[in-house]
Structure 1
């Protein structure tokens, strides 16, 4: 039985539950929605559908937080965001040309890499150099297109430094919002962006709003150790679950 635009009840129910949980993590940690949600959506949808839906959701919620981005984001976030704009389309083209099973496997590996990167030692607060910043931006754009996950290069760039948590969160979410816009434009350009994806994203958006709001309430109320541990365990669980399902 089809619920909306060709998607069945089971697909939508799984997507709503996964969206709520991943949005809660986003609100608490400042990242993680795409890393958690794309591997789960890609188990029932095609990988490119999963990537484009998460881009819709990230853009919707990001536009509601522009005031916070402008007030707290680090200058480097705008530089990385600009690089994401030019490197997203090649990643999406590569995804469209990759067999779905292989794409699902690679997306799960990207999620697992985020878990590994978050375990790296915390560095000093000063911004990395131009080469590191440029590499983070280009890699983030490629992963936005291929996996809907701009986070793996960006998270260690900010969370891995001793900077204010509010600054890290605003900087990451600004980049993710720009990446979502770039992903949707690229999807339209290559003919993969359909109305049914937009309709499903609208259906899922209330779960994003609720989960993100609850996560934001918890933001700042836990210690850094608990915060990092929560994020690491959640990322690991999502990646391992996706790999086990595939294998």
Structure 2
């Protein structure tokens, strides 16, 4: 089904807002946009939103290239591959309602874990695990940011933005390939993704104007709030 002009404008507004959030704190476009895009038209999720996230990641990676850490990316992307395979399997076997409950609960558990006195350290195992979870969530529901963001939450703002951006570029590419190979991504959805690019570009530009005004602790608080909203929204959509 083709989108109407009103639907396109609404989708661009939602994606633009999500791009501002992600450009400011390092992730969050899918968390903000996915529930609304699904209401506008289910065809906008996950393919077009994943495509938009990949484009935004490329823009942000270029902006913060000096903070990229290959060690972080290596282990996490290694986990993203099997995670994406599991995500595709979930799309073919699990109902939307059950999937939303599982993903929402997982995100909320991650938030609770992040506010406990013990903080997860970045090790090959935790990076691989975060990449795996991100692959599952990103491919099945286009919300793959929370696992990696929670693991990196105590890093500097620019370091988080840089490494999450590269992770999103490569990880989104993997997810799109997996979806296409399994006939879960149409040419129409790719066209929708391209149409959303002007909103991505505008949001990225606005984020660049406000990003330095966000303090580190406030930065961490915003990430936890967005993760919580993501989990709650996913659960409510299944009720």
- Give the TM interval when normalised to the shorter protein: 0.7 to 0.9
TM-score, reference length from structure 2: 0.84
State the 1:117 CA deviation. Answer: 5.7
- Pair 1:206-2:198 in alignment: yes
Distance 2:234 2:131 in 1: 26
Of residues 179, 185, 196, the one that matches 1:193 is 185
Q: Deviations over 1:34-81 (max 9, x none)?
A: 2222222223433x7501111111122223344346421222123212
CA apart distance, 1:204: 1.2
Write out per-residue CA displacement over residues 148-207 of structure 1, whole angstroms, 9 at most, x where no aligned residue.
122121011111x2x322112111111111111011100110012111111111221111
**What pairs up with 1:96-175 in 2 under 5 angstroms?**
96-109=92-105, 112=108, 116=112, 119=115, 123=119, 128-159=122-153, 161=154, 163-175=155-167
Specify the alignment match of 2:4 in structure 1.
8
Give yes or no for contact 1:92–1:187 (8 Å, CA) kept in 2.
Answer: yes
C-alpha displacement at 1:219, in angstroms? 1.2
Contact 1:87 1:141 in 2 (8 A): yes
Whole-angstrom CA distance in 2 between matches of 1:241 and 1:128: 28
**Which of the residues 214, 224, 230 maps onto 2:222?**
230
**CA separation of 1:112/1:12 partners in 2, compared to 1, >3 Å: closer, same or farther?**
farther
SS in 1 for 2:160: helix
**3-state DSSP class of the match of 2:212?**
coil
Matched, 1:71 2:66: yes
Q: TM-score, normalised by structure 1?
A: 0.82
Aligned to 2:41: 45
- Structure 2 segments unaligned to the other structure (5+ residues): none
1:91 aligns with 2:83: no
Rounded Cα–Cα distance in structure 2 between residues aligned with 1:169 and 1:221: 15
Indicate how the Cα distance of structure 1 residues 83 and 242 shifts in structure 2: closer, same or farther if over 3 A, else same. Answer: closer
Q: Tell me if structure 1 keeps the 8 A contact 2:157–2:219.
A: no
How much does 1:225 deviate?
2.9
Determine whether 1:18 maps to 2:10.
no
Runs (5+) with no aligned partner, structure 1: none
CA RMSD of aligned residues (A): 2.8
Kept in 2: contact 1:83–1:137 (CA 8 A): yes
